[in-house]
């Protein structure tokens, strides 16, 4: 596997923030950074060729200026650039197939900037099975942010009823590299009867919570043993998982969520929890594809 980190650039403030976030991540991992731009440039009949030449020069300047700015801030970083003339989702999936990570800029609220707009942005996430991180243009991501990464928490959402090894491996590794706290959440809802006039007793609620705690602790134990230096805070809050993740992760350095790999084109590739976090989180969000 090629360990480099790939960043999609489109000239927006969000993609610039993504590049600076990715540069610090590349330094943490001691891997190269690869800046790319992908765009379909097929012009309708009658459009002068000069316009395509202008577009190509703009792309060259975009990649050159971004790499120069990052080299000035991080002279020890190995940076390369590449542009693609083709469908962005396909191009990014191809270049990221063996990479360590893909980083994109995101405006949240359902839109990804520039050529990642709307359905194309989701197509990129669906097509890439390597970790994908979406970064907003926040104070922590802009060029003058201090250090490699803040010491803010890494937050990971877990479903204890299904295997989450890829998700946990990424989250523990990130927390270890950053020397920060890892907060692991498994949210749960009260059974339907609890809201229909047949309230469960506190004892029953406590038993359910204890069962959830035990399940989460069992899932986390091998990872605690593997990463003894990571400070782990495991929680089983009551409530909608997306709301709990967004609330807990509002001041986090990174939120880690999963998506199940679907080989069939039919059905959702991103579940409702990950979908909500992607659209509403102000913190960077890592989407980890797993079986």
Which pLDDT value is given to residue 29?
95
Q: Report the CATH number of the 5-135 domain.
A: 3.40.50.620
Q: Do domains 5-135 and 154-290 have the same CATH topology?
A: yes
- Give one word for 269, left, alpha or beta, with left for phi > 0 and alpha for psi -120 to 50: alpha
Q: How far apart are CA 262 and CA 25, in angstroms?
A: 28
Which pLDDT value is given to residue 117?
38
As a three-state string, the secondary structure of 193-223 is: HHHCCCCCCHHHHHHHHHHHHHHHHHHHHHH
Fold of 154-290: Rossmann fold (3.40.50)
Q: How far apart are CA 236 and CA 59, in angstroms?
A: 47
Which pLDDT value is given to residue 149?
67
Which pLDDT value is given to residue 127?
84
Which pLDDT value is given to residue 267?
46
Report helix, strand or coil for 111: strand
> Which residue numbers in the chain have pLDDT < 70?
40-51, 108-121, 139-150, 191-201, 262-269
Backbone phi, then psi, for 73, in 5-degree steps? -80, -35
Tens digits of per-residue pLDDT, 166-181? 999 999 999 999 999 9
Tens digits of per-residue pLDDT, 180-211? 999 999 998 876 655 555 555 677 778 888 99
- Residue 194 tokens read as 């609890």
Domains of the chain by residue range: 5-135, 154-290
Q: How far apart are CA 93 and CA 165, in angstroms?
A: 23
């Amino acid at each position: 596997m090629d360990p480099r980190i790939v960043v999609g650039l489109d000239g927006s403030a969000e993609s610039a923030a993504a590049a600076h976030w990715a540069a610090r991540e590349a330094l943490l991992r001691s891997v190269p950074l690869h800046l790319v731009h992908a765009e379909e440039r097929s012009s309708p009949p009658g459009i002068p060729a000069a316009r395509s030449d202008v577009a190509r020069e703009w792309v060259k300047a975009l990649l050159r200026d971004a790499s120069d700015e990052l080299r000035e801030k991080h002279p020890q970083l190995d940076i390369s650039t590449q542009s693609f003339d083709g469908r962005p989702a396909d191009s990014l999936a191809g270049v990221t197939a063996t990479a360590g990570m893909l980083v994109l800029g995101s405006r949240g609220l359902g839109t990804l900037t520039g050529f990642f707009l709307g359905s194309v942005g989701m197509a990129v996430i669906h097509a890439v099975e390597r970790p994908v991180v979406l970064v907003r243009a926040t104070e922590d991501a802009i060029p003058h942010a201090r250090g490699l990464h803040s010491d803010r928490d890494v937050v990971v959402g877990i479903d204890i009823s299904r295997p989450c090894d890829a998700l946990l491996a990424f989250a523990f590794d990130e927390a270890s590299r950053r020397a920060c706290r890892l907060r692991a959440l498994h949210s749960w809802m009260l059974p339907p009867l609890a809201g229909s006039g047949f309230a469960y007793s506190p004892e029953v609620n406590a038993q359910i919570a204890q069962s959830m705690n035990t399940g989460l602790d069992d899932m986390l134990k091998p990872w605690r043993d593997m990463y003894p230096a990571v400070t782990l805070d495991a929680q089983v809050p009551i409530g909608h998982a997306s709301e709990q993740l967004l609330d807990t992760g509002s001041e986090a350095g990174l939120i880690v969520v999963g998506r199940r790999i679907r080989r069939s084109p039919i059905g959702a590739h991103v579940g409702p929890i990950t979908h909500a976090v992607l659209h509403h989180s102000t913190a960077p969000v890592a989407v980890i594809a797993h079986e």
